[in-house]
């Protein structure tokens, strides 16, 4: 297996979106449990992506999608005490997500041996902010904004190979989401599953995954160890 490029999902795989968002929500002292609010915000994500990929909804940046979902759940929970500045600041919490502790050192190590990039539905400014905030070392940042579509559109995965002028089988897609990896595999990429059992928090839904991947790792440090052999 000749891996030349490693492309990484970001939300959940590299950064802890649940813990980071829940902490900022809790600080606002909203009249709803912070974990419940956080999960509700994230639940609107995939349906919004699907509507855009299918052509049902027009193209939009993830920042705008997050804000639209935020407005919906504030109304659903009957929360009307946040002004526009507070809403905008809360929405930008997605730019301040903390990395999992293993992510920064592992990414620095992997970048020494491979071309590494993001492959995320996040917009470029969001991913650049996360890289600065979390000391995330990338050779290049690629996103939905780069390709004009969202995962799991095959164009996203094939776009990585085209960007770096390699064969799809020379790209390793790294993610903690089964559907992301299945779509990558269908597009011809190699796959590595990263176990993140607490992605949805201590009381969140259990994650389902298959071991039918080229690699299976408990975290990114274990992955870095494997590729330094």
Strand order in the sheet with 140-143: 140-143, 115-120, 5-8, 171-175, 190-194, 215-217
Last residue of a domain, one of 64, 95, 126: 95
Residues 78-110: tens digit of each pLDDT:
999 999 999 999 999 999 999 999 999 999 999
Residue 78 has a pLDDT of 94
- For residue 44, the SS3 value is coil
Residue 222 has a pLDDT of 98
Q: Are 60 and 108 found together in one domain? A: no
Residue 54 has a pLDDT of 84
Q: CA-CA distance, 15 to 98, in Å (whole number)?
A: 6
Residue 208 has a pLDDT of 75
Q: Are 82 and 166 found together in one domain? A: no
Residue 229 has a pLDDT of 79
Mean pLDDT per 10-residue segment, the chain (229 residues): 96 98 95 94 88 86 95 94 95 98 99 98 97 98 93 95 98 97 98 95 79 94 95
Residue 111 has a pLDDT of 98
Q: How many domains does the chain have?
A: 2
Last residue of a domain, one of 95, 128, 158: 95
């Amino acid at each position: 297996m000749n891996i030349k490029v490693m492309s990484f999902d970001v939300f959940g795989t590299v950064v802890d979106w649940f813990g980071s968002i829940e902490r900022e929500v809790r600080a606002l002292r909203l009249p709803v449990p912070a974990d419940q609010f956080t999960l509700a915000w994230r639940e609107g994500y995939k349906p919004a992506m699907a509507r855009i990929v299918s052509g049902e909804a027009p193209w939009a940046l993830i920042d705008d999608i997050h804000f639209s979902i935020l407005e919906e759940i504030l109304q659903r929970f009957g929360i009307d005490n946040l002004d526009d500045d507070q809403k905008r600041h809360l929405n930008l919490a997605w730019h301040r997500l903390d990395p999992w502790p293993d992510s920064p050192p592992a990414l620095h190590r992997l970048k020494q041996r491979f071309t590494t990039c993001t492959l995320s539905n996040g917009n470029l400014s969001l991913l650049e902010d996360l890289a600065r905030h979390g000391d995330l070392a990338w050779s290049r940042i690629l996103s939905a904004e780069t390709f004009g579509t969202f995962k799991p559109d095959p164009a996203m995965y094939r776009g990585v190979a085209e960007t770096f002028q390699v064969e799809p089988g020379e790209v390793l897609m790294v993610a903690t989401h089964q559907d992301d990896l299945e779509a990558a595999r269908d597009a011809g990429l190699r796959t590595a599953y990263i176990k993140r059992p607490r992605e949805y928090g201590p009381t969140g839904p259990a994650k389902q995954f298959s071991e039918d991947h080229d690699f299976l790792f408990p975290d990114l440090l274990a992955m870095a160890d494997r590729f330094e052999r």
